[in-house]
A = this chain, B = another copy of it.
Amino acid sequence: MTMPVLEGVTCNECPIRHRAVCARCDDDELGKLEGMKTYRSYKAGDVILWRGEPLEFVASLVYGVASLSKTLEDGRTQMVGLLLPSDFIGRPGRTEIEFDVTATSDVTLCCFDRAPFEALVNDTPHVAQRLMELALDELDAARDWMLLLGRKTAQEKIATFIDMLVRRSHSEPSEVPGAIPLPMTRDQIANYLGLTLETVSRQFSALKKRGVIDFTDRHHFQIIDNEGLRLATGDDSDPALAG
């Protein structure tokens, strides 16, 4: 996997310019952010932030995938969020976080030191508003996931996960056409869906056998039957909505 080099890239050339925390900024506001930003990179598997550790910086995720996870005393873990490009790490007024943040693939962040960023938020309504929107989007996503974790079957969980990946990964242009990247191991997917890795593997096999998806390799798949996938999520009763 190639890791784009971003040092020296201007905000106007940034791939997440219109979806990240800076989405609503005008040129003037963007200039201030431009002067504050630094890029950081992490290898797949690196821990970006530990739960409870003081938060030195906030950041937008530019490339890659990161995960938020919580762990019980005996080691059971549950992912409580997946960060894709344009997602934000850190919250106004919070000096620490309640979960670990880990690089799932190689990751590049656009970072701002926390104190000056907060000062900027306070007198830049465009940034404050965008932060609120991002927080509310995360809250909606968290609630969809609560329904999934509490009430969906293993098959429905896997179908919903694939459906979410298709919707959210505005797939990189350079990739094999039609092949959607699966940027996580079976174990990480299991931790996201509240399952075991064996069950994840079995349900992928079942969807493949049913002709809903197909794997080009273990980390790239294609949708064969979009309608079948949608039905398998358990969300829509009305087939007309999926057409």
Give the B-binding residues of A (Cβ under 8 A). 68, 70, 72-74, 76-78, 80-81, 91-94, 98-99, 128-129, 131-133, 135-136, 138-140, 142-147, 149-152, 193-194, 234-237
Contact = CB atoms under 8 A, between A and B. Distances in A.
Contacts of A70: 143-144, 146-147
14 contacts: A72-B151, A72-B152, A74-B234, A78-B151, A80-B146, A80-B147, A93-B129, A93-B133, A98-B143, A99-B143, A145-B146, A146-B146, A149-B149, A149-B194
A136 B133 contact: no
A166 B99 CA distance: 23
Contact of A237 (B73, B91, B142, B234): B73
Nearest to A190: B150
A139 B138 CA distance: 8
A74 B238 CA distance: 11
Contacts of A143: 68, 70, 80-81, 98-99, 142
A45 to B, nearest CB: 21
A91 B143 CA distance: 15
A138 B138 CA distance: 11
Contact of A132 (B92, B152, B236): B92
Contact of A136 (B77, B91, B147): B91
A190 to B, nearest CB: 10
A152 B74 CA distance: 11
Contacts of A72: 147, 151-152, 234-235
Contacts of A140: 98
A190 B140 CA distance: 22
A143 B236 CA distance: 25
Given A73-B235, A93-B136, A146-B146, 7 more contacts: A70-B143, A74-B237, A76-B151, A93-B132, A98-B140, A142-B143, A146-B149
A237 B74 CA distance: 8
A94 B136 contact: yes
Contact of A151 (B77, B94, B131, B144): B77
What 8 pairs across the A-B complex have the smallest Cβ distances? A150-B194, A73-B237, A149-B149, A142-B142, A80-B143, A78-B150, A149-B150, A76-B151
